[in-house]
């Protein structure tokens, strides 16, 4: 025991003052040796000292005490020496010599005010309410300090639960996604969104290390002999520039059971060069393996060979149907208020469902409850302001953000005749409120709105908007049980206003609305089992299209496609089961049930024949809320992790998913006027199964992360469309729809360097994605019913994001992308008809456009780090497409004056330099 | 209607804005497939109806190969057969004159020389709706260009027509800007004696007639009444030299079936300007003709039975822009004084026209001022015969 203590104490270095358990000491000595004094105290009192004699030296000490506290006595004795003392239970006092190295360190600071307290066994508590000197200074070095939880005793348990709360020392905000890792036992955890964490530690000494981006790392020795609580107050790191984008928790790569998950912090994407200076966390996501988009101007993402409509994009628990502005070139998420983006592409947690391929979870920051703060930026496309407003100190705060473009102004200022009638503008606004009612109850509410408007010709104006609202009440019943109640509503709509020269002016509108109620509970049964379970229910309402005449003269006939409604309900359950130290399982199960609801008219077609006017058997009418059709299905979400060695693990997972809402698009890429359609009598839900297997290894104290993942995915009922399908204002959409099968597989390699002057990542993916549209009938047959590459099948995809920090203030970032060109449908000849030549198209996607590559650079200048400075500024000078590579985005064939002209188009064909200025206050 | 209006066509504009680019390239043929192309239109006009058969061709080839020696006939539901005979390669003309009659089903049947049989679905002649009005109007188009729009008004009170197709034949007067009553001839080939003489034929004023090649569609199916109002068939910019003097346009309006409309619309969709951000998925699309031997064989084209009405109008440039000068001649007309072989060849190969006499200052100049032939002889651009229908 004594040996153990000695070891621990060797690592510690600061004075700890015990606050209770004192006995008065009456003693007097002059020019005495310390050993003698200690012996005297031992005879006079019950205190017993443990120490190495050599440490105490020979310097004589003097003193005179009358019923004084033991601390006072020891304080005087050891004043000016390197000896620390610890008052342990049972009146034992351990002495310890300071770490020698400490003396040689620069006058550092120890900015970690901390508390530990016993949860159990109050009577025997020796709480160490240690108080350290806090010079309120910044230091890059952290010293190790020791805390003890409980005392050593004979126990049947060899693991204890440590819980706690982590706060930003400066702002008082909770720190989410902070990783806490016990270095010796490779156990790790992450703080939740509210800054709470729970970790199971083996008894005895644990070296806990915290790390998170923008937060100074901290190491602590924790001697644990009982369940307890340990809070952290951490400083912001001044080395923010160091990382470009790094996962917040260092060991997660190898430790967590989930596969194919990625996390990107919004703040840390600021260095990565982007087009026109607009920070775009979604575009950065596409530099990671398994996530791609069709091209630069494409809205939507393709995750592991899935369609763009197969991603569930949620912001603070509410679905956001179109998270981009301006055809996907800019994100519709405020980079200042967004905390991070978490992407699940492999194992999707059982609590999520309804989309086949992935979950994009965007979380906004909690407002700072202590201090008013703000951030603003000025760029060539948008300006942006975000404010954090504390309402009730340490309880509630509001965060507001607003961005708007002035591209209208840019368009108008360009001396370009053809742009005179064009306009494009967008804005988004966000409001988030967080309120900590007490330790057990917390409320968060988010409201968000984004809108885009564009018109290219003078007669039509397009606009689309997202609106969402979410409310979350987090409640902790006790240490083991907690729950979240979530209510969310999202709406996406678009309008087309046509105001032409003739009498055919009209307004067209589309709208989808969903209301989501979810109750999610968490039960920590014991150290082996953690349960997450709950119920989720969504009510959809879609207005597939309305057209109305505009103006008195318009002869447009008003038309309205009947509203669609449906209810999607799911029960979910998952058990994170620690089978052994090496094997961790996540056994998830979701059962979803979908009810297409009336009022509606559904058409029944002859079995086994193409759905068309001629095969219509009958039309069936359904009353309001009458169930038209029920689809149900089990969804298995299982994953496991097994440690093969130190920082080396293998993981496997199986995922099945159902999707009941689909986009209707006969474009090769997503367009803002694509509509969403609910499954009904004729359109079946899409289904997918995915197997994945991966190896994960961290090197050099988690500085390097290496992962290799493979997946194989099959999907059914993928929606596709007949050639030149009419999708807007079509009451019989099912006659245009083809439902086929999908097949995708791939290998993803990722190497990340998290720390140091040079950091970043290298990702490479080899993947394929195929679709099959087979039928007995020629009109429903594509490519003879064989598998053909999907529009986003890009076998080779390489991304390098690297950042080099010259000094604290200057850094250079670069981004390099190489991708196989995407498949396009290319004519196999041409023909003459009515005096003009036309391109003759046959099979789909047989041709590929040239390979894509692009290099971007950015140079970042961070304002100086003086805390007194009113505002902290940040300059970003970036060049997008430095090489000026003219990457073809599409090829197309136009008949002009009767002749065919072949064209290829690219979106950013020249280097685009940009300067943006950001400041925080 | 909807597809046309919803189709976002703003490729070049947005591309400009984003510093992207659109450039043309020479397409190469990959995986060529030779497919029969059937271009068949019969109307309610009494005439020798015409059907054209050709094959798809490679990008590297200039024009389509014809499908010769096929048996082509149209059969109505009274079992009347209209036989078509090959006039020119691939061009089949009905042996007898006939017009499609209302309420009769017509079916096209083709047997190629290789024995493949193709049949259309039975088609019935749509109702004949006449053009209400055809007129020219001074307008400013979407791109802010001022000019003359050729507009059509059509109204079917019974609301049965709904789908319209238009084509036109435009004829314009050409006046050679550097025309001179004299022309140069080589009077004596051996001694190379060249002198100006009065022109042998009319070469100052000519007429050129051009057929439209694009498919112009009108659709009233989403309207409360079957009316096309100020429907633009053609737009001519103010400075287009073809309306520089006098211009005439014959507009033909076809009432077509819904299926034909869908076919033409798809054709337009895949051959028109694309939106850069939302590219249509092109593919093979069926018309109303299907192969009988092999159901998976592809065949391109449509058998269109439509009723037609036509109207013609004339106008002068000065009717709309009285204060304008004649729009600039779109060809370069430098006046030169060549000598020697250059001069002789210009006369011999009729590449230059006489403009005036010239007094040379030195040996580098000749005795005549000449202009390129296109500037002084209108027959390069048109015919010197006044069309029958022409009204001054």
DSSP state of A614: G
**Residue A150 in contact with residue A116, Cβ under 8 Å?**
no
Q: Which two tokens stand for residue B292?
A: 């009988």
A756 pLDDT above the threshold of 50: yes
A653 pLDDT above the threshold of 50: yes
A10 pLDDT above the threshold of 50: no
CB-closest option in B17, B56, B295 to A831: B56
Confidence of residue A667 (pLDDT cuts 50, 70, 90): confident
pLDDT digits (tens, 9 = 90+) for A214-259: 677 778 888 887 787 888 888 775 433 333 333 345 567 777 887 7
Q: Measured between alpha carbons, how far is residue A853 from residues A305, A651, A791, A796, A857 in Å?
A: 20, 32, 18, 11, 14
- Would the CB atoms of A728 and B20 count as touching at under 8 Å? no
SS3 B333: coil
B270 pLDDT above the threshold of 90: no
Best of B23, B30, B52, B278 to disrupt the A interface by mutation (most A CBs within 10 Å)? B278
- Would the CB atoms of B54 and A831 count as touching at under 8 Å? yes
Confidence of residue A4 (pLDDT cuts 50, 70, 90): very low
What is the mean pLDDT of the segment spanning A633-647?
93
Confidence of residue B13 (pLDDT cuts 50, 70, 90): very low
- Would the CB atoms of B24 and A901 count as touching at under 8 Å? yes
Q: How many CB atoms lie within 10 A of CB B97?
A: 12
CA distance A805 to A800: 16
CB-closest option in A460, A504, A825 to B282: A825
A90 pLDDT above the threshold of 90: no
Q: Which two tokens stand for residue A863?
A: 């304002």
- pLDDT of res. A674: 86
- Would the CB atoms of A832 and B39 count as touching at under 8 Å? yes
- pLDDT of res. A579: 92
What is the mean pLDDT of the segment spanning A514-535?
94
Look at B9 and A875; give whichever has higher pLDDT.
A875
Supply the pTM of this predicted model. 0.76
Q: Give Cα B228 distance to the centre of its chain.
A: 23
**What's the CATH number of domain A261-920, 2.170.130.10, 2.40.170.20, 3.40.50.300, 1.10.3720.10?**
2.40.170.20
CA distance A633 to A637: 13
A108 pLDDT above the threshold of 70: no
Phi, psi (rounded to 5 degrees) for A713 = -130, 135
- pLDDT of res. A12: 35
CATH 2.40.170.20 domain span(s) along chain A: 261-920
- Would the CB atoms of A827 and B27 count as touching at under 8 Å? yes
- Would the CB atoms of A724 and B265 count as touching at under 8 Å? yes
pLDDT digits (tens, 9 = 90+) for A594-637: 999 989 999 999 988 888 888 899 999 999 999 999 999 999 99
- pLDDT of res. A902: 87
A679 pLDDT above the threshold of 90: yes
Look at A445 and A881; give whichever has higher pLDDT.
A445
CA distance A58 to A36: 11
CB-closest option in A419, A724, A836 to B17: A419
DSSP state of A683: S
- Would the CB atoms of B296 and A778 count as touching at under 8 Å? yes
Is residue B33 less than 8 Å (CB to CB) from chain A?
Answer: yes
Q: Which helix (H) or strand (E) holds A43?
A: helix A34-44
A811 pLDDT above the threshold of 80: yes
A716 pLDDT above the threshold of 50: yes
Residues 324-383 of B with CB under 8 A from A: none
What is the mean pLDDT of the segment spanning A85-92?
72
Calculate how close chain B gets to A301, using CA atoms only, in Å.
14
CA distance A564 to A601: 10
- All residues of chain B having their beta carbon less than 8 Å from the beta carbon of residue A847 are 30
- All residues of chain B having their beta carbon less than 8 Å from the beta carbon of residue A546 are none
- Would the CB atoms of B64 and A831 count as touching at under 8 Å? yes
What torsion, rounded to 10 degrees, do the Cα atoms B250, B251, B257, B263 define?
A: 100
Calculate how close chain A gets to B236, using CA atoms only, in Å.
14
- pLDDT of res. A411: 53
Residues 122-181 of B with CB under 8 A from A: 139, 142-144, 167
- pLDDT of res. B275: 53
CATH 3.55.50.30 domain span(s) along chain A: 1-104
pLDDT digits (tens, 9 = 90+) for A470-490: 999 999 999 889 999 999 999
- Would the CB atoms of B19 and A897 count as touching at under 8 Å? no
SS3 A722: coil
A26-35, A550-559, A762-771, B242-251: the lowest-pLDDT one? A26-35
CA distance A912 to A887: 14
**What is the average pLDDT value for chain A, to the nearest integer?**
82
Beta-carbon contacts of A653 under 8 Å, excluding residues fewer than 6 positions away, are A258, A259, A260, A346, A347, A637, A638, A639, A640, A690, A691, A692, A693
By CA distance, what is B301's nearest residue in A? A833
- Please report, rounded to a whole number, the percentage of residues in chain B having pLDDT higher than 90: 61
A292 pLDDT above the threshold of 50: yes
- pLDDT of res. A113: 36
By CA distance, what is B10's nearest residue in A? A456
Q: Which two tokens stand for residue B42?
A: 């019969």
- Please report, rounded to a whole number, the percentage of residues in chain A having pLDDT higher than 90: 39
A106 pLDDT above the threshold of 90: no
Q: Which two tokens stand for residue A295?
A: 């091209």
**Residue B227 in contact with residue B155, Cβ under 8 Å?**
yes
Calculate how close chain B gets to A257, using CA atoms only, in Å.
39
Q: What is the ipTM of this complex?
A: 0.88
A119 pLDDT above the threshold of 90: no
A71-75, B134-138, B276-280: the lowest-pLDDT one? B276-280
What is the mean pLDDT of the segment spanning A108-137?
36
Look at B55 and A131; give whichever has higher pLDDT.
B55
- pLDDT of res. A101: 31
Q: Give Cα A587 distance to the centre of its chain.
A: 22
CB-closest option in A297, A555, A829 to B58: A829
Look at A298 and B391; give whichever has higher pLDDT.
B391
Calculate how close chain A gets to B7, using CA atoms only, in Å.
10
What is the mean pLDDT of the segment spanning A262-286?
79
- pLDDT of res. A154: 52
pLDDT digits (tens, 9 = 90+) for B88-107: 999 999 999 999 999 999 99
Q: Which two tokens stand for residue A256?
A: 């967590």
A16 pLDDT above the threshold of 70: no
- All residues of chain A having their beta carbon less than 8 Å from the beta carbon of residue B162 are none
**SS3 per residue for A313-367:** EEECCEECCCCEECCCCEECCCCCCEEEEEEECCCCCCCCCCCCCEEEEEEECCC
- pLDDT of res. A713: 96
Confidence of residue B260 (pLDDT cuts 50, 70, 90): very high
B274 pLDDT above the threshold of 80: no
Q: What angle do CA A286, A292, A296 make, to 5 degrees?
A: 85
- pLDDT of res. A151: 57
Calculate how close chain A gets to B227, using CA atoms only, in Å.
8
Is residue B294 less than 8 Å (CB to CB) from chain A?
Answer: no
Domain A1-104 has CATH 3.40.190.10: no
**What is the average pLDDT value for chain B, to the nearest integer?**
88
- Would the CB atoms of B14 and A833 count as touching at under 8 Å? no
- pLDDT of res. A5: 37
**Residue A261 in contact with residue A247, Cβ under 8 Å?**
no
A52-56, A388-392, A568-572: the lowest-pLDDT one? A52-56
Is residue B296 less than 8 Å (CB to CB) from chain A?
Answer: yes
- Would the CB atoms of A908 and B14 count as touching at under 8 Å? no
- Would the CB atoms of A506 and B5 count as touching at under 8 Å? yes
What is the mean pLDDT of the segment spanning A369-380?
87
Compute the count of residue pairs across chains A and B with CB atoms less than 8 Å apart: 271
Phi, psi (rounded to 5 degrees) for A567 = -120, 130
- All residues of chain A having their beta carbon less than 8 Å from the beta carbon of residue B35 are 829, 831, 840
B9 pLDDT above the threshold of 80: no
CA distance B279 to A894: 13
- pLDDT of res. A669: 66
Confidence of residue A284 (pLDDT cuts 50, 70, 90): confident
pLDDT digits (tens, 9 = 90+) for B127-171: 999 999 999 999 988 777 899 999 999 999 999 999 999 999 999
């Amino acid at each position: 025991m004594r040996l153990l203590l000695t070891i621990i104490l060797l690592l510690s270095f600061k004075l700890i003052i015990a606050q209770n358990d004192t006995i008065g000491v009456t003693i007097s000595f002059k020019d005495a040796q310390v050993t003698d004094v200690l012996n005297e105290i031992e005879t006079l009192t019950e205190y017993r000292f443990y120490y190495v004699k050599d440490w105490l030296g020979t310097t004589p000490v003097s003193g005179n005490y009358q019923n004084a506290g033991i601390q006072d006595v020891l304080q005087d004795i050891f004043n000016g020496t390197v000896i620390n003392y610890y008052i342990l239970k049972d009146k034992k006092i351990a002495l310890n010599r300071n770490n020698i190295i400490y003396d040689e360190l620069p006058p550092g600071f120890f900015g970690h005010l901390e508390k530990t307290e016993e949860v159990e066994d109050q009577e025997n508590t020796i709480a160490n309410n240690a108080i350290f000197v806090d010079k309120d200074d910044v230091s890059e070095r952290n010293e190790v300090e020791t805390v003890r939880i409980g005392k050593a005793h004979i126990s049947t348990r060899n693991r204890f639960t440590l819980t706690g709360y982590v706060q930003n020392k400066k702002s008082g905000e909770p720190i989410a996604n902070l990783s806490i890792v016990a270095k010796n036992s490779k156990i790790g955890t992450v703080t939740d969104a509210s800054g709470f964490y729970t970790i199971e530690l083996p008894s005895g000494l644990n070296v806990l290390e915290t790390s998170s981006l923008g937060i100074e790392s901290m190491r602590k020795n924790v001697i644990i002999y009982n369940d307890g609580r340990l809070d952290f107050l951490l400083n912001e790191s001044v080395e923010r520039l160091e990382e470009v984008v790094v996962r917040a928790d260092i060991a997660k790569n190898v430790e967590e059971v989930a596969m194919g998950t990625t996390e990107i912090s919004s703040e840390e994407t600021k260095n990565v060069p982007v087009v026109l200076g607009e920070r775009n966390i979604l575009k950065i996501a596409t530099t990671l393996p398994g996530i791609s988009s069709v091209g630069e101007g494409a809205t939507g993402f393709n995750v592991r060979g899935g369609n763009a409509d197969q991603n569930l994009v949620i912001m603070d628990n509410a679905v956001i149907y179109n998270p981009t502005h301006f055809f996907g070139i800019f994100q519709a998420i405020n980079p200042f208020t967004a905390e991070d983006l978490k992407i699940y592409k492999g194992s999707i947690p059982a609590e999520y469902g309804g989309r086949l391929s992935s979950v994009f979870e965007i979380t906004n920051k909690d407002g700072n409850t202590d201090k008013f703060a703000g951030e603003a930026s000025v760029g060539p496309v948008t300006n942006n302001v975000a404010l954090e407003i504390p309402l009730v100190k340490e309880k509630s705060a509001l965060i507001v953000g607003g961005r708007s473009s002035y591209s209208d102004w840019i368009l108008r200022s360009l001396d370009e005749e053809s742009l005179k009638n064009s306009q494009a503008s967008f804005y988004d606004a966000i409001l988030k409120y967080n309120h900590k009612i007490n330790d057990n109850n917390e409320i968060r509410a988010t409201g968000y709105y984004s809108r885009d408007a564009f018109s290219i010709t003078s007669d039509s104006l397009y606009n689309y908007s997202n609106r969402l609202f979410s409310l979350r009440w987090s409640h902790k019943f006790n240490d083991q049980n907690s729950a979240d109640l979530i209510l969310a509503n999202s709406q996406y709509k678009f309008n087309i206003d046509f105001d032409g020269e003739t009498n055919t002016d009209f307004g067209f509108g589309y709208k989808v609305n969903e209301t989501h109620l979810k109750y999610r509970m968490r039960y920590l049964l014991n150290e082996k089992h953690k349960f997450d379970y709950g119920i989720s229910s969504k009510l959809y309402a879609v207005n597939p299209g309305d057209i109305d005449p505009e103006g008195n003269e318009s002869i447009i006939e008003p038309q309205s496609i009947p509203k669609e409604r449906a209810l999607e309900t799911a029960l979910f359950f998952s058990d994170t089961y620690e089978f052994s130290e090496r094997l961790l399982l996540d056994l998830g199960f979701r059962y979803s049930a979908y009810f297409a609801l009336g009022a509606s008219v559904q058409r029944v077609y002859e079995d086994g024949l193409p759905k068309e006017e001629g095969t219509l058997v009958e039309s069936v009418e359904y009353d309001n809320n009458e169930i038209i059709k029920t689809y149900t299905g089990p969804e298995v979400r299982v994953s496991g992790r097994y440690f093969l060695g130190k920082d080396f693990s293998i993981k496997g997972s199986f995922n099945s998913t159902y999707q009941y809402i689909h986009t209707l698009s006969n474009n090769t890429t997503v367009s803002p006027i694509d509509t969403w359609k609910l499954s009904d009598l004729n359109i079946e839900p899409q289904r997918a199964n995915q197997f994945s297997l991966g190896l994960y290894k961290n090197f050099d104290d988690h500085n390097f992360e290496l992962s290799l993942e493979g997946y194989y995915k099959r999907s059914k009922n993928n929606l596709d469309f007949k050639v030149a399908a009419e999708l807007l204002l079509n009451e019989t959409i099912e006659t245009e729809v083809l439902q086929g099968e999908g097949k995708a597989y791939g290998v993803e390699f990722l190497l990340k360097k998290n720390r140091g002057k040079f950091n970043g990542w290298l990702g490479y993916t080899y993947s394929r994605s195929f679709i099959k549209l087979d039928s007995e009938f020629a009109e429903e047959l594509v490519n003879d019913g064989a598998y053909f590459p999907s529009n986003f099948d890009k076998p080779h995809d390489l991304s390098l994001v690297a950042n080099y920090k010259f000094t604290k203030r200057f850094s250079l970032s670069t981004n390099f992308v190489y991708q196989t060109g995407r498949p396009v449908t290319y004519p196999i000849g041409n023909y003459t008809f009515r005096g003009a030549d036309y391109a003759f198209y046959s099979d789909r996607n047989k041709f590929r456009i040239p390979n894509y590559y692009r290099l971007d650079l950015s140079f970042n200048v961070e304002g100086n780090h003086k805390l007194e400075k009113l505002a902290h500024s940040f300059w970003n000078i970036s060049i997008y497409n430095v090489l000026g590579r003219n990457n073809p985005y599409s090829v197309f064939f136009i008949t002009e004056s009767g002749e065919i002209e072949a064209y290829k188009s690219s979106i950013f064909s020249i280097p685009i330099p940009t300067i943006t200025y950001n400041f925080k206050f | 209607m909807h597809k046309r209006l919803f189709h976002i066509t703003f490729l070049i504009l947005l591309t400009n804005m984003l510093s992207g680019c659109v450039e043309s390239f020479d397409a190469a043929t990959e995986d060529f497939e030779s497919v029969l192309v059937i271009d068949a239109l019969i109307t309610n006009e009494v005439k020798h109806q015409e059907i054209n058969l050709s094959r798809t061709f490679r990008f590297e080839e200039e024009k389509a190969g014809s499908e010769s020696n096929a048996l082509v006939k149209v059969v109505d539901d009274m079992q009347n057969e209209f036989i078509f005979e090959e006039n020119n390669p691939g061009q089949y003309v009905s042996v007898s004159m006939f017009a499609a009659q209302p309420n009769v089903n017509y079916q096209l049947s083709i047997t190629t020389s290789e024995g493949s049989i193709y049949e259309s679905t039975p088609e019935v002649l749509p109702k004949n709706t006449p053009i209400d009005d055809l007129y020219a109007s001074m307008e400013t188009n979407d791109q802010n260009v001022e000019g003359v729009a050729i507009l059509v008004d059509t109204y079917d009170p019974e609301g049965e027509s709904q789908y319209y197709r238009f084509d036109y034949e435009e004829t314009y007067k050409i006046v050679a800007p550097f025309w001179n009553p004299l022309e140069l001839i080589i009077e004596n080939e051996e001694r190379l004696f060249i002198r100006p003489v009065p022109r042998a034929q009319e070469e100052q004023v000519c007429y050129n007639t051009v057929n439209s090649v694009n498919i112009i569609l009108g659709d009233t199916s989403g309207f409360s009444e079957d009316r096309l109002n100020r429907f633009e068939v053609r737009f001519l910019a103010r400075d287009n030299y073809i309306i520089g003097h006098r211009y005439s346009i014959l507009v033909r309006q076809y009432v077509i079936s819904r299926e034909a409309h869908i076919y033409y619309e798809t054709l337009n969709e895949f051959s028109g300007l694309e939106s850069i951000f939302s590219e249509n998925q092109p593919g093979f699309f069926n018309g109303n003709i299907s192969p009988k031997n092999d159901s998976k064989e592809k065949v391109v084209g449509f058998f269109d039975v439509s009723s037609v009405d036509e109207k013609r109008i004339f106008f002068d440039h000065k009717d709309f822009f009285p204060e304008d000068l004649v729009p600039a001649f779109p060809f370069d007309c430098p006046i030169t004084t060549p000598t020697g072989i250059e001069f002789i060849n210009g006369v011999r190969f009729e590449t230059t026209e006489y403009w005036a006499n010239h007094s040379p200052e030195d040996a580098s100049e000749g005795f005549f001022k000449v202009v390129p032939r296109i500037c002084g002889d209108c027959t390069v651009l048109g015919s010197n015969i006044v069309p029958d229908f022409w009204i001054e």
